[in-house]
Structure 1
Amino acid sequence: MLLRPPPSPLAGALAPGGSPGPGARAAGPELPNEAGLGEQRDEEAERGRGGAMAEEGASRWPAGTDHGQDGASSEAEAAASAAREECAGPRWGAQHAGARELAELYSPGKRLQEWISVVLCFSLMTFNFYNLIFCVRWEHVFSVIVGIFAGVITADFVSGLVHWGADTWGSVELPIVGKAFIRPFREHHIDPTAITRHDFIETNGDNCMLTVAPLANMAYKLVSLSPEALHQACPWECYVFALAIFVTLTNQIHKWSHTYFGLPCWVVFLQDWHIILPRKHHRIHHVSPHETYFCITTGWLNYPLEKIRFWRFLENIIQRLTGEKPRADDMKWAQKIK
């Protein structure tokens, strides 16, 4: 007999103040792709507005007025043509002008960095696991379990903090970090399924780079500390190792949350039971302007952080100190039409 998984505690959540929150929008039937029925209706409405703009431009200077018939007619036609072009172009997806430009910025040097990061990360991870397993004693079992759980929670928060920072601030034009780090975040909002077309290296290279240093430090301690010191440090090292594993896997989990066909059964099981980031849950973040539900490892912290308005609090502080508007660069790329 098949057991039906319990509903996610975040489904249909209310936003602060008691009004239906973003969770309520995600409670509908699961869609086969990123563009839902509501988005299709938005596109039809926008096309209707484009037609109205065209009619307004064509009728602004009717024949026989004193504004210069030829010049007025040319301006009206140009305005109508621009309105039609803007509304007819793709609002998202691989053919969006911004998505094409951002995809072309993926360079051979970036690819090399990702390969090196993946090889180093998984080599260190294998070495550390082999040595760490011999440090664990029966008296460590409870503290190790707590450490692993704390590592997962920390990884979820770190994923949200990095995701929020890259989505909200900075620019693709920044030296080094712009094209290497911020570019994928801009591309992802315009073409959310691009990540499903990335191979393992491109998907996980940056996250592997982040964990190489702590994994290397752990490897050094595992071979240099005395057995007594390792015995005492075992729970802490298990926490660090769990944190490193889940940070490394965060973008792979994120990729699965955008994949609607061909996922392994065990991945679907973990998503349905909200052990890792579920697909419906992550769709809340992809409601424009992408200002909530940033945690993408498990997503467990998204609702409580939204409830206390954590991200808005940080944005207000930074905006007051710097004068920078949140998500300005993200919106610029989304509005590109050529």
Structure 2
Amino acid sequence: MVGSTITAAGAFLLKVLGGLWFADFISGVVHWLEDRYGNPEWPVIGHTIRENQQHHFTPRSFLKGTLWTRNREVLAIGAAFLAVFWAFDVLNAFTVSAVIFGVMSNEVHASAHRSPQENGRIVTALQKTGLLQSHRHHAAHHRKGKDTHFCVLTNHVNPVLERIRFFQTLEAIVTRVTGLRPRPDLSVNPRYRPAI
């Protein structure tokens, strides 16, 4: 009985971690699309792309917003996904954790731009473990032309995607199929340092 409880707890934890890593991957794909192909003139999502581009010029500017202003769109999307998962009877530890972590991606991203004093002990401790993205890890995105380290939740997914050249391969495919080239980032700042 104890063994089955430990096994069940381990399986649950793996599903939650899987949801976290999946949400991190999705945050990277969305961030990549915004940074490399997004247009602030697009209807509906153009304002989000504009805010993201502004964030690259002034990385801490979005910290001035409230929890609601930073997250309203992603909260609505998360609620829609939970409703779909419920309707199709696929609410489980993986899907719920993926939605929760996905909804929190902007806040985790914000914490990567705050100092340890601003974040507090718990967030700072989670950043030190890599379960939440650290300042140093996220700084790689801001230093390197905004063409790397797109995932914003953990320190775990970006290294894997960079090792297999995931986004570079996607960009080559997009260019080959559509002729579109990734948009260069004009806010490159090789001296960017995290707020620590």
Shared fold, TM over 0.5:
yes
Q: Deviations over 1:16-60 (max 9, x none)?
A: xxxxxxxxxxxxxxxxxxxxxxxxxxxxxxxxxxxxxxxxxxxxx
Deviation at 1:288, TM superposition (A): 4.2
Describe the SS at the equivalent of 1:283: helix
Q: Does 1:163 align with 2:18?
A: no
Kindly name which structure, 1 or 2, has the bigger radius of gyration based on alpha carbons.
1
Task: Choose which of 137, 141, 155 in structure 2 pairs with 1:299.
Answer: 155
Residue type of the partner of 2:78?
T
Residue type of the partner of 2:98?
L
Q: Does 1:197 align with 2:53?
A: no
Deviation at 1:303, TM superposition (A): 1.0
Deviation at 1:217, TM superposition (A): 3.2
Q: How does 1:184-333 map to 2 (within 5 A)?
A: 184-220=51-87, 237-260=92-115, 261-328=117-184, 330-331=185-186
Describe the SS at the equivalent of 2:142: coil
Q: Deviations over 1:111-132 (max 9, x none)?
A: xxxxxxxxxxxxxxxxxxxxxx
In the alignment, structure 2 segments of 5+ residues that lack a partner are 189-196
Q: Deviations over 1:245-294 (max 9, x none)?
A: 10011110100000114221111111112121000110000014210011
Deviation at 1:171, TM superposition (A): 0.7
TM-score (norm: length of structure 1): 0.50
Take 1:301 and 1:287, find their aligned partners in 2: how far apart are those partners? 18
Deviation at 1:311, TM superposition (A): 0.7
Deviation at 1:143, TM superposition (A): 2.6
Describe the SS at the equivalent of 2:114: coil
Take 1:217 and 1:288, find their aligned partners in 2: how far apart are those partners? 38
> Percent identity among equivalent residues?
30
> Contact 1:293 / 1:299 at 8 angstroms: preserved in 2?
no
> Contact 1:156 / 1:299 at 8 angstroms: preserved in 2?
no
Describe the SS at the equivalent of 1:245: helix
Greater RCO structure (CA 8 Å; 6+ sep) = 2
Root-mean-square deviation (CA, aligned residues, Å) is 2.2
Take 1:154 and 1:285, find their aligned partners in 2: how far apart are those partners? 19
> Contact 1:169 / 1:326 at 8 angstroms: preserved in 2?
yes
Take 1:304 and 1:168, find their aligned partners in 2: how far apart are those partners? 20
In the alignment, structure 1 segments of 5+ residues that lack a partner are 1-136, 223-232
Describe the SS at the equivalent of 1:282: helix
Take 1:204 and 1:151, find their aligned partners in 2: how far apart are those partners? 19
Deviation at 1:210, TM superposition (A): 2.0
Take 1:198 and 1:327, find their aligned partners in 2: how far apart are those partners? 27
> Contact 1:170 / 1:182 at 8 angstroms: preserved in 2?
yes
- Shift in CA distance, 196/162, structure 1 to aligned 2, threshold 3 Å: same
Deviation at 1:141, TM superposition (A): 2.8
Describe the SS at the equivalent of 2:149: coil
Task: Choose which of 148, 173, 184 in structure 1 pairs with 2:41.
Answer: 173
Take 1:204 and 1:176, find their aligned partners in 2: how far apart are those partners? 15
